[in-house]
Chains A and B, each alone.
Chain A
Amino acid sequence: MWQAALSAVNPAGRMVRLLAGRLDASVQGEPRKAAPTPWKHLFVGIVLVFCSLALAGPARLELSGKARLLRTDQSVQTYTRNGGPALLLNLEAGDRLCLTEGKGRLLYGVRAFALEARGTACFEVARPRSFWQNLVASCQDIGVCKKQAEVAFIKEAKSRNLAGSAPILYLPTDYSLDTLTLTVTDGQTLRLLNGASELQKVEAQGVGVFTIATELLRKTGRLEVQSRSGLVVYAAPVYWVSFASEIAANAPLEAALALWLTSEIGYAPAAYSYLLAAGASELATILEAQIRREFRGSAR
């Protein structure tokens, strides 16, 4: 996972850090527990695995207010406590709780979480990973069930070879312009996607020139550019990057140069937009040619 945390120090000494979201967000607990001697361990372990797979420790909520609880079977329950001693509520694995009014204190083992209707209101007890999931994962780890992984790898390598490595669109979190200009050779329509849903479709203004609202880009997870014939010419995720710069770049030209110095092609469209805003057309033309050359193919 660490590879996701792209960290590069450029010659100017600035550090660029990619905000790597927690990729392992929904991993779950492990139900197995065993007794003091090895053979007892074995026996108890096997019994536990086969008999009770849902042994994840329940969390306990002390509620003074109103809470909405989504149970594993998708049923919704609402609890209210106004005044008096706190209401005690047990949460099982897979339950998701959200506070709508007042306060709550959640205990999970020795850990405590303060919940408030304003601020951190929700809590989820992670579902344990099933015996079967563990078995399949272990099997893949030792390379016995690697058929699927192999196929996926071949696919990825193939698309890379055919389409070239597509750059990911990086944007600094402090990007100050209202729009971003992206140029993609042969591009006709650009789709902004978030998960499976399409946020907006943008038509090219010039020859493969797209102007995209920054507001919209902040919600976008991925973008896809299609040519006139409907062929996908560029598809890549959009990453917002916290750009720890020593110099606060106020002027667009400064900001553009700071991005340019990273020599990371993913920043080029942002730098290009800054250059256009600064009126540095000569530099912008050079960068545009590079973007047109590089921004093609698809990246995961």
Chain B
Amino acid sequence: MDKLPRQRTFSPHARKALWRTGLVVLVMVASSYILSNNLLGPFGAFIKGPQGVSLDRLTKVVHRWGSPVPVRDFPLVVLVELEQSSIQELSPNSNVFHRGQLARITQKILSYQPKGLFLDFDLRYPSNEGGILSEGDGRLLEVLGHAQVPILLPDKQILGQPLSSLNPKLFAVQAQVLYDGDGLTRKIPRPLPGQPVAASLGLYCLGLGIDLQDGLRCPQSVALGNPQSDGKRIVYREIRRYGAHTEGRQLWPNLVVMGGLQFLNDGLVKSEKTQGALFLVGRTYPRADDVHFTAIGAVQGIDIHVNALLTLATYRSFSETLAWGPVLLLVPLVVFLALWLTYSITDGWLRASHFQGFVQALIETAVAAWFLFFAGVLILQYTGHFLDYLYPIVAFQMGALLLKLFAGGKKNESKTDDSGQEVADKLKEIVEGTGGDR
């Protein structure tokens, strides 16, 4: 910030940008305050709607790019997915995935001494009707009953009995995804007192070595941000699937994705890195069974959990908007740079153009909006915060309007009138010119 006054003496564009930045920040702070305290009541929806759409655009840009590294010492995350070939081999002709095979996979995962394991399956009832346990059910109960590491399950009941009676290491988590009003999944649900934590938050805490039995410590491990927002926006990244016998990188640096069959065939090396990893097991076939809509398109349920977990592990916060510190430091800087670039283009390079009147009116806001959008992308990529670039743009327009209102009535008015006349004259010239040519 202390650099900014020095720029003032150098360039008139910088001075203009600085002055406008002040306005933008003032309006942003005011509108954030109004929105976060719900001062507009039901009318807040008018702002929140377009805000959601503008933040989705940030998600769409970021989801194709690699992520920064997660929190120091955060364990490896292994997604064991039951895809088509695994299901056809391990559990053919069955609607419910074979419990005996699930027990095999669980047993094998336990041999890696994981920090946590999440089984995204409906295990409330035995495989057979009438509550009769099958052989596979029995094996699964035995494996889960003797587990020494925390295992997260979506329900409080397992194969007809309560979780706690089987093993105190089994925890129920919230595995449902949260839908917004428009049917899109955007957020990790905020932890509420007395309710199970979200699966991703539970795994995140286990990754940090926090015991889930202490119900309060886990939600406290992340910055909770604004208590009135209902959750943390997920930073989606594409979970890449490669063809048979092909392998490549994932966009989340410490994520490993592998098929259940490959995992059973010693596909995961036993090493220092894999010992104490976090495991997620879920079905991704048939694809239509557990698919949810997000800003980036249709995503499998288990992929949403993985993205949510790695969002927490990488960006460590539960707040949707930036805290006051960054708002007062980072945003002015970014807005200033964006506006400075804009004015350098519109007032500087394009000044000589015959269409300067046009440029001023039409391009200025558009160019500023694009620079602010890219600023939003960079802030999301590296801090995980969704900077609402819509605020600065709206604030910018409102600021310009205010300026016009207050900056000395008549003189300014006649000026704008003149420029309007100029534009009209130029248009006339052009039209007549082309007409004359023909």
Q: Chain A residues in contact with chain B, CB under 8 A?
A: 1-7, 15, 17, 19-20, 22, 24-36, 38-39, 41-42, 45, 56-57, 59, 93, 107-114, 120, 122-129, 134, 137-138, 141-142, 242, 244
Contact = CB atoms under 8 A, between A and B. Distances in A.
B299 to A, nearest CB: 9
A134 B60 CA distance: 11
A29 B265 contact: no
B157 interface: no
Given A27-B248, A138-B61, A141-B64, 14 more contacts: A1-B298, A20-B287, A24-B240, A24-B242, A28-B248, A57-B249, A59-B247, A110-B268, A110-B274, A113-B247, A113-B262, A128-B249, A129-B64, A141-B63
B382 interface: yes
B362 interface: no
Interface string B164-181: 000000000000000000
A34 B69 CA distance: 6
Given A5-B286, A110-B269, A30 B251 contact: yes
A41 B245 contact: no
B19 interface: no
Contacts of A112: 266-269
B428 interface: no
A295 B211 CA distance: 62
B380 to A, nearest CB: 11
Most buried by B among A30, A42, A57, A114: A30
Contact of B248 (A5, A17, A114, A128): A128
Most buried by B among A6, A110, A123: A110
Contacts of B84: 19-20
A110 B287 contact: no
Which 6 pairs show the lowest CB-CB distances between chains A and B? Answer: A29-B249, A126-B248, A25-B243, A32-B66, A2-B287, A5-B287
B65 interface: yes
A57 B296 CA distance: 27
Interface in B38-66: 57, 60-61, 63-66
Which DSSP category, helix, strand, loop or mixed, fits chain B's interface? Answer: loop
Contact of B60 (A31, A126, A142): A142
Interface residues of B, number: 53
A194 B405 CA distance: 69
Given A111-B267, A123-B245, A36 B64 contact: no
Contacts of B378: 42
B250 interface: yes
Given A59-B247, A112-B266, A134 B240 contact: no
Contacts of A57: 249
B3 interface: no
Contact of A33 (B69, B245, B298): B69
A107 B271 CA distance: 12
Interface string B266-286: 111101011000000000011
Contacts of B300: 2
Given A27-B240, A34-B69, A128-B249, A110 B291 contact: no
A129 B64 CA distance: 10
Nearest to B285: A5
B285 A113 contact: no
Nearest to A139: B61
A92 to B, nearest CB: 12
B383 interface: yes
B248 A113 contact: no
Contact of A30 (B66, B245, B286): B66
